[in-house]
Amino acid sequence: MIFRNKNINIPTKVFVSYEKEVGNPVADENIAISDIWLNVFNKFDKSNIRDTKSLEKEDIKKLYEDFFVNGLSDGACAGKALSNPITRYKYIKRENKRIISLYLHMFPGKSKTYSRFELKQKLKKKEYKEILGLLKNIQLSELIYSGQPWMSRFEDMEYLIELTDHLYFFNIIRNFFSKNDLKPIFIGDGSGILSNLLLSSDLKIGDTIFIDLPHFLLRQYIVNYDKKDKITKFIHAQDFESNLIEKSGLTIINQDSFPEIPDASLNKYFELIESNKVSSVISYNHLDLRGDHTNYRDKLLNLMGNPQIRFESKLRDGYFIEIFTK
């Protein structure tokens, strides 16, 4: 069963703090938006509610307390489309497949359901509840559940519907960096689930930087508000220049959006690699780069050589996790 989480109050102080620490963007948003995203915004946000510069804080607060149906979330996470029963049915089927794949990833060799040929894999009820228990009890900040996100329920167990794929990616990052300090640059983190998983974990994380379009950046600020001691700055995508970042030994983390970032913006991000400020890049993206998609991978190969790790996602066909290091 798929349903929306209850309303959670977002303290007004969060928006006051954001205005003081981050403020409004200077440049026009369109310079950092690809045609793919323009189509998404034109479809879901005809009222242009993403532009909150002229709104009072209480009005912005109301928008973000209803984040997952008013057009702000669509294109980056489950949004208003899930109000349609047909879409919910598709998500239920998708989630069942992802839950099975996530179980096999998290508990390798534990279940006899594993098949080399991936034919009709199933979990026993006990195994299903085991992985749902993991999803339900994962450490997350309270405000990750703000915006009335879509949840999935099985018997008495509930979990955030977008969590499965992010937990899979998080677990891989966690295993790779378990013995190292991690200084992440989150580019295009959408609703902030992946970053919150990492910042809430026991990994040694600091000097974190967020770069995204303004309405997503505010969402990431909200859900990671209680992790500010691990965060250095938030930067609007259209205002980004590589000289805004001075530290070195940083790691760029991107899930789902490298191919959809305009070339000019991507080149600015990758200047951080050329200037030796970024020493590793972790990518979880689709490799079908036809049409309007940016060939981010050729850029990374030219700058960093072949990835140290590369494999196809167990949860999403055609998506590859790659870790590049200098």
Task: Please tell me the distance from the alpha carbon of residue 59 to that of residue 56, in angstroms, as a whole number.
Answer: 5
Q: Which domains does the chain have, with CATH numbers?
A: 165-325 (3.40.50.150)
The predicted structure's pLDDT at residue 52: 76
The C-alpha angle 79, 84, 90, rounded to 5 degrees, equals 85
Query: Which range (67-76, 233-242, 250-259) has the least confidence?
Result: 67-76
- CA-CA distance, 268 to 249, in Å (whole number)? 17
Percentage with pLDDT > 90 across the chain: 64
Quick: pLDDT tens for 3-16: 999 999 999 999 99
From CA 147, how far away is CA 5, in angstroms rounded? 8
Tokens in use for 30?
A: 């369109």
The answer to whether 244 and 178 are in contact (CB under 8 A) is: no
Q: What span, in angstroms and rounded, lies between the C-alpha atoms of 215 and 86?
A: 28
Q: What average pLDDT does the chain have?
A: 89
- Type of residue numbered 102: L
User: What is the reported pLDDT for 170?
Assistant: 97
- Is the CB of residue 260 less than 8 Å from the CB of residue 226? no
Selected residue with higher pLDDT from 184 and 48: 184
Q: Is 45 a residue whose pLDDT tops 90?
A: no
> What pLDDT score was predicted for residue 62?
92
* β partners of residue 284: 255, 321
pLDDT of residue 46: 52
| pLDDT at residue 125, as a whole number | 86
User: Which residue did the predictor score with more confidence, 213 or 36?
Assistant: 213
Please give the structure tokens belonging to residue 152.
């999935």
Query: Which has the higher per-residue pLDDT, 236 or 293?
Result: 236
Instruction: Say if residues 2 and 91 touch (Cβ distance below 8 Å).
Output: yes
List, in sequence order, every beta strand (DSSP E) within the chain.
2-4, 150-154, 157-160, 184-187, 208-212, 231-236, 250-255, 278-286, 309-312, 319-325
Write down the pLDDT at residue 323: 97
DSSP characters over 55-88 = S-HHHHHHHHHTTTTSSSSTTTSS-GGGGSHHHH
pLDDT of residue 326: 87
pLDDT value at residue 288: 73
- Return the minimum-mean-pLDDT range out of 45-49, 225-229, 262-266: 45-49
